[in-house]
Structure 1
Amino acid sequence: MKPLFAKDTVRQGISAHSAIGLICCALLYLICVTGTAIVLYEEFQRLEQQGAPEMGGIAPEAVDTAIANVVASEAGKQPTTHLYVHMPTEALPRTTVTTDRQAFHVDAAGAIAVPEENAWAEFLLALHYRLNLPAIWGMTLVGLFGAMIVALAVSGIIAHPRIFRDAFRLRARRNDEVSTLDWHNRLAVWTLPFALAIALTGSMIGLFYISGYSLAATAYDGDTEAALAPVFGAEPAGDDTPAPLPKVAPALEYMAREYPHIRVSYAILHDPGTRGQHLQIVGVHGQRLIFGEYYAFGADGTFRGTAGLSDGTTGQQFAASIYNLHFGNYGGLPVKLAYILFGIALSIVVSTGTFIWLNKQERKGSPRPVIRAGWWGVTIGMPVAIVATLLARLGVGNEAPFVAIFWLVALAAVAMAIVLSRRPGARDADPAVPEFAP
């Protein structure tokens, strides 16, 4: 029977298939590398803007002053729909007021000090969250990659029945290929609980848009706010009639008096300057995974209750715990260091997984020298590209084109690795080795 496609066409199809697989592995590797780096998100912000005022706490009256100063700076512009006050925390001891269009660090008296300039940390976070793509597409894609890690972890266990028995067996002295396989399997076992937790929570965060919109479309007539209200609380009815700004100080004083064990991380003004305005205080509960509880207050400072993230349904508490569990925002510096170590290990597992596939292809008589070289470029180039963007931030400033720098450096590293592999006398691939048992 005559083949459906010519041999050259088949060969090109195989190359295209391999290239697509390499791109998927590269994006998965990028997500792991940036996720490891972003654990130090607050520390990076402090590194970027070392001159911003820092404090262990701020007086409630000073918070009101800060809000009034920032709102006054936007006089004559479209009113902001939300105003956030980041209260000083141990990881980021700064008070920052953010509106829909700008953000300022303020001093302990509430005076505007300097604009917030943390574009590099935000770039790194966006690279991990959504690969610098539009939110709905990027977060969905990252969520799917999270599901892929779960599938890879489970299938890897099934494919290697001795994986736990050989958890501490390393054959590093035999040859590079055996060493690569052993390190891949050992690190995969040691990081398995971490990988599953990170992948599952990452999938939930990444697929938030799809799940939220789907739920709203099927059960709430397209109303996304109503769909999320059972988890995060409902928004009061709005009223755009102008009104004086509310005072936040009474709410902060109420929290200090009635909930002294709760640390306030944010004060959020909804629709400030209107009759429909209201206030939410985000309170962090010690020894809990939840990112916080929403404490609702009226414009006059009257306490209206909580959303139930700390003591509501199991689903609410679970939803509120996903973010901290994914990013390691609990337990302080020791937990962050553990996340960094496990993140590095997970990145190595992803990287070596592709090398193992390349080794198997070579043993079958189908070496992929160009793909091998390209994967070396990915493995080394992406961390180098992140460092390049940091150097650009320190050298050029907050306005440096971080997205362009990252992707140009990363692609240049891949291209350079491929070009070098094609030089006369260059080793296209590692020496073939005998077949061995995994």
Structure 2
Amino acid sequence: MKSKSIKKLYTLHSWVGIITGILLFVIAFTGAVSVFGRPEIKIWANPEIRTLAQVDTAKVEQLVAEYATQVPEHYQEEILIFLPRVRGNKHLAIIFESHHGEPVTSDDASIDDVKSEQAAQKHSPPVGTSFEFDPHSYELVREKSGLMSEIFATYESDMADFIVDFHADLHLGRPIGLLTTGVLGLTMMLSIVTGIFIHRKILGQLFTFRPRKSYSLMLNDGHKAIGVWGLLFNAVIAFTGAFLGLAVVVLVPAAAFVSFGGDQDKLVETFTAIPAPVIQNVQQSTAIGSAFDHAFELHDEVIVRSMTVMGYGDASAKMYVGIAGGQNIAAQTAVYQAGGEFVERYSNFGRIEGVTGKILDIMYPLHFGNFGGILVKAIWVVLGLGTALLPLTGLMLWMERGVNAANPRYSMKTYQRFNRLIVGSCGGLVVATMLLFPTQMMIKYGMGNNDVGSIIGWPFFISWLAIIVAAFLVPYEKHFARQLAYVTAALLIAVLPIDLLVTGTNKATELATGHYLSSGIDLVCLALGLYLFKLMKNFPKPLPSANATVINQIVANQASANQTGAKEAV
């Protein structure tokens, strides 16, 4: 490739990084944390779900039969059963749903056809009644009736839900949030492609890392090494992230426009909805317990999440059990007949013919690494942190080259302000994320509020914003970055004592009984905090001459150069 083309690609690579680098760090870092968001961090954040009782499937079947008599008959059109510990559910939840809302009565609808149509539309949203039970005693804890959207909106959330949702859409919602993260995935793919072309000899420098020679070489070698070692992973994350972000707001509407006349609901229903059985009006008990028992025995590592019952109490009833775990990358659905007889098992998009369904099935698991147990998740976290460092080192390298250039493109004050923005934004995000651990326990136990997710955003964003502002006020941003690293280490080390102090958990007993997840979070955070402390102590402190700001350094260099020129002239 010609040198002019390389220069153009380098310019494109640089500007993409400058414009989106900080946001890419935000998405990548929160993504690395989100890998362990569900269920590991969720279980740590909610001690009451760490040791839930074994599910009594016969009791579940009995509860469904008992409470089915307490709801209108049309509410039995679909029954949803969510087991405890699934995504961190604290309670056994049984929801009776009517897809078409409340039936229109003569009092609701006028004889006038227009008014009748308006009345039908008024009652069309799905409605239902939710019952939540204690997983140990199976006593009723909470009951709620209304629109299904309202019922699901009332479920409690926590720090794990907050950080996972923040990674998904930056808490900007749909479509803006998903569109933003999807576009960032595309820009990351563009950076990867241009990076490959401008660093054509990167494979020759695969093992080159010279941290002690100079700061500039350390950034240059580090940026290249992270890029080449994580090339495949970064490409997969960028592509799947772009797809997951743009699928709902761009791809689904486009496909619906082409094939379904713009009807998005019809498109989704065609490929993902559970088909309703043809009711025979032959009364037969639905063997919910037998279906659950069989699902639990499908394989050793199976995770049974939920069940959907269609046509309850009829001979044609079907039960759809949501399962995960084992060697299957994607989540699956096991289908059972009314008597509990196993019918088939398929993945989420398994009914789509050809390779398309298989590709759609692996998108989410590949992005979050939740298909191969803790080891795969750990690998995803390490590589994800590398993905976060890639734009960060690129930004720092761009500034280092700009500051040291003979004729800098921008003023030194501009470079300094941009450097402060990076320190505050990236360092502040890390501190704010680690601050979620003590904040979770403070809100849950100190304030007695179980819906932590509805509040925890305030301390998160306030602390992040405060650090960004502080980065512009402190005398030396390099010292401030070092202080942020120490604060992060302290917060990591504090995770274990906070857990012990607030929950009173006996870690020896917890480990002896095989409940490793919460203890694993404690110990990993402790190890990372201690390592970060050691790393910062061994990391060379700025020399006295480096304590000046970037502007003062450049001014001093220019003054020295002028004096040298004057002597030569004499």
TM-score by length of structure 2 reads 0.61
1:345 and 2:386 correspond: yes
Distance in structure 1 (CA, Å) of the matches to 2:136 and 2:354: 38
Whether contact under 8 Å (1:87, 1:265) holds in the other structure is no
Distance in structure 2 (CA, Å) of the matches to 1:277 and 1:132: 39
Q: In structure 1, what is the equivalent of residue 485 of structure 2?
A: none
Q: In structure 1, what is the equivalent of residue 357 of structure 2?
A: 316
Q: In structure 1, what is the equivalent of residue 253 of structure 2?
A: 213
Q: In structure 2, what is the equivalent of residue 5 of structure 1?
A: none
Q: In structure 1, what is the equivalent of residue 484 of structure 2?
A: none
Distance in structure 2 (CA, Å) of the matches to 1:148 and 1:248: 48
1:290-336 CA distance string (max 9 Å, x none): 2x222345667576655564686321122111111111112211111
Q: CA deviation at 1:218?
A: 1.9
Q: In structure 2, what is the equivalent of residue 140 of structure 1?
A: 179
1:381 and 2:381 correspond: no
1:359-386 CA distance string (max 9 Å, x none): 2332242231111111111121001111
Q: In structure 2, what is the equivalent of residue 411 of structure 1?
A: 465
Instruction: Choose which of 226, 231, 248 in structure 2 pairs with 1:187.
Output: 226
Number of residue pairs the alignment of both structures matches? 409
1:149-201 CA distance string (max 9 Å, x none): 11111111111111111011012122112211211111111111111111111
After TM superposition, the structure 1 stretch with the greater mean CA deviation from structure 2, 347-356 or 113-122, is 113-122
Q: CA deviation at 1:87?
A: 6.0
Whether contact under 8 Å (2:304, 2:323) holds in the other structure is yes
Give the aligned residue type for 2:34: I
SS of the aligned residue for 1:294 comes to strand
Matches within 5 A, 1:2-151: 24-41=20-37, 42-52=39-49, 54-55=51-52, 57-65=54-62, 83-86=80-83, 96-97=92-93, 106-107=134-135, 110-111=138-139, 117-151=156-190
Distance in structure 2 (CA, Å) of the matches to 1:310 and 1:56: 33
Distance in structure 1 (CA, Å) of the matches to 2:70 and 2:17: 51
Whether contact under 8 Å (2:285, 2:339) holds in the other structure is no
Q: In structure 1, what is the equivalent of residue 550 of structure 2?
A: 428
Q: CA deviation at 1:232?
A: 3.3
Q: CA deviation at 1:103?
A: 8.7
Q: CA deviation at 1:413?
A: 1.2
1:112-142 CA distance string (max 9 Å, x none): 5799754211111110011001132211211
Whether contact under 8 Å (1:54, 1:95) holds in the other structure is no
Give the aligned residue type for 2:359: F
Distance in structure 2 (CA, Å) of the matches to 1:269 and 1:49: 26
After TM superposition, the structure 1 stretch with the greater mean CA deviation from structure 2, 148-157 or 51-60, is 51-60
1:375-415 CA distance string (max 9 Å, x none): 11112100111122332111122445222222222122111
After TM superposition, the structure 1 stretch with the greater mean CA deviation from structure 2, 386-395 or 195-204, is 386-395
Q: In structure 2, what is the equivalent of residue 14 of structure 1?
A: none
After TM superposition, the structure 1 stretch with the greater mean CA deviation from structure 2, 65-74 or 169-178, is 65-74
Summarize the Cα distance change of 1:80–1:165 in structure 2 as closer, same or farther, 3 Å threshold: farther
Q: CA deviation at 1:342?
A: 0.8
CA RMSD of aligned residues (A): 4.1
Unaligned runs of 5+ in 1: 1-17, 434-438
Distance in structure 1 (CA, Å) of the matches to 2:60 and 2:289: 7
Summarize the Cα distance change of 1:231–1:164 in structure 2 as closer, same or farther, 3 Å threshold: farther
Give the aligned residue type for 1:161: R
Q: CA deviation at 1:285?
A: 6.0
Give aligned-pair identity as a percent: 18
Whether contact under 8 Å (1:97, 1:105) holds in the other structure is yes
1:21-68 CA distance string (max 9 Å, x none): 767322211111110001111111111111236358523223335657
Distance in structure 1 (CA, Å) of the matches to 2:216 and 2:292: 60
1:248 and 2:303 correspond: no
After TM superposition, the structure 1 stretch with the greater mean CA deviation from structure 2, 18-27 or 313-322, is 18-27
Tell me which protein shows more helix as a share of its residues: 2
Whether contact under 8 Å (1:97, 1:106) holds in the other structure is no
Whether contact under 8 Å (1:19, 1:371) holds in the other structure is no
Whether contact under 8 Å (1:279, 1:297) holds in the other structure is yes
Distance in structure 1 (CA, Å) of the matches to 2:285 and 2:550: 68
Whether contact under 8 Å (1:70, 1:97) holds in the other structure is no
Whether contact under 8 Å (2:306, 2:323) holds in the other structure is no
1:200 and 2:239 correspond: yes
Summarize the Cα distance change of 1:305–1:354 in structure 2 as closer, same or farther, 3 Å threshold: same
Distance in structure 2 (CA, Å) of the matches to 1:322 and 1:356: 33
Whether contact under 8 Å (1:267, 1:279) holds in the other structure is no
Summarize the Cα distance change of 1:399–1:303 in structure 2 as closer, same or farther, 3 Å threshold: closer
Summarize the Cα distance change of 1:262–1:43 in structure 2 as closer, same or farther, 3 Å threshold: closer
Q: In structure 2, what is the equivalent of residue 436 of structure 1?
A: none
1:280 and 2:280 correspond: no
Distance in structure 1 (CA, Å) of the matches to 2:465 and 2:62: 48
Summarize the Cα distance change of 1:255–1:208 in structure 2 as closer, same or farther, 3 Å threshold: same
Summarize the Cα distance change of 1:235–1:182 in structure 2 as closer, same or farther, 3 Å threshold: same
Summarize the Cα distance change of 1:95–1:304 in structure 2 as closer, same or farther, 3 Å threshold: farther
Q: In structure 1, what is the equivalent of residue 524 of structure 2?
A: none
After TM superposition, the structure 1 stretch with the greater mean CA deviation from structure 2, 270-279 or 152-161, is 270-279
Summarize the Cα distance change of 1:320–1:399 in structure 2 as closer, same or farther, 3 Å threshold: same
